[in-house]
Amino acid sequence: MKITIGIDPGSEVSGLALFHGKKIIEGRNVPNKDVVGVVLEWRRIISMRAEPCTVVIEDIVAYGGRVRTQTLQTCKWMGELCYRLGLQPDVKQVLVARSTVKAWIFDACPDIVLPRLVKVMEATHKRSLKVGKKGLKRADGTMRKPSFQFITDNIIEVALKSLLNIPVPKPGKPQIYGLKTHSWQACGVAAHFLFALKKKKYKPITP
């Protein structure tokens, strides 16, 4: 079976999620200096035959507003990460934007997403009004239709639990696959590649 590893790059720590075939195996949050080592470790442990490995990296796309120092650090790290992975034989790389994952989750899990999304949009509307902004209601007073743009990390996490049959741990107990914070986002980009883009072809990113 194929090995797929999702990575959510951060300025100092990145989230990783390992899939063997279409089954989630493990999630970790790893200091950036150790990320490539963990990728190679996972590949070696899962497949002694060194099967081809696809690394799906959450991409950063252009957006309006001030660029924070953390964002710049993350972009620099992504460049280094893609270069170092590109030096590894049989390791392919795919870039997937978070907005693409959000759109997929929106379409794939409407029963989970829509009720939560309505609450998020209502809260966003109230916060906007408090600071003197227009909010999310139309001129006739009705709320805008739910949009994937308002999907939060928490909604993605809940949807992934359903899509991948990940059990909810008992109170006080850790998640059985070790998924938390950044590694949930890594899980999202990997799952999107495995379940939403399986018919598409991707060219490897080369250094």
Over residues 190-200, the mean pLDDT reads: 78
Q: Which CATH class is domain 3-109+151-195?
A: alpha beta
Predicted pLDDT at 48: 56
Residue 98 — pLDDT band, cuts 50, 70, 90? very high
pTM: 0.88
Please determine, for residue 127, whether its predicted confidence score (pLDDT) is greater than 50: yes
Q: Are 82 and 206 in contact (CB under 8 A)?
A: no
- DSSP for the chain, please give it: --EEEEEE--SSEEEEEEEETTEEEEEEEEEGGGHHHHHHHHHHHH-TT---EEEEEEE----SSPPPHHHHHHHHHHHHHHHHHHTSTTEEEEEEEHHHHHHHHHHH-HHHHHHHHHHHHHHHHHHHHHTT---SB-TTSPBPPP-GGG--HHHHHHHHHHHTTPPPPPTTPPPTT---THHHHHHHHHHHHHHTSTT---PPP--
Residue 136 — pLDDT band, cuts 50, 70, 90? confident
Domain ranges of the chain: 3-109+151-195
Residue 14 — pLDDT band, cuts 50, 70, 90? very high
Joined tokens for residue 103? 């759109």
In the chain, the percentage of residues whose pLDDT exceeds 90 is 64
Residue recorded with tokens 């063997």: 20
Residue 141 — pLDDT band, cuts 50, 70, 90? confident
Predicted pLDDT at 202: 44
Q: What is the pLDDT of residues 142-185, one digit of tens each?
A: 888 999 999 999 999 999 999 999 998 888 888 899 999 999 99
Distance (Å, whole) CA 36 – CA 159 = 28
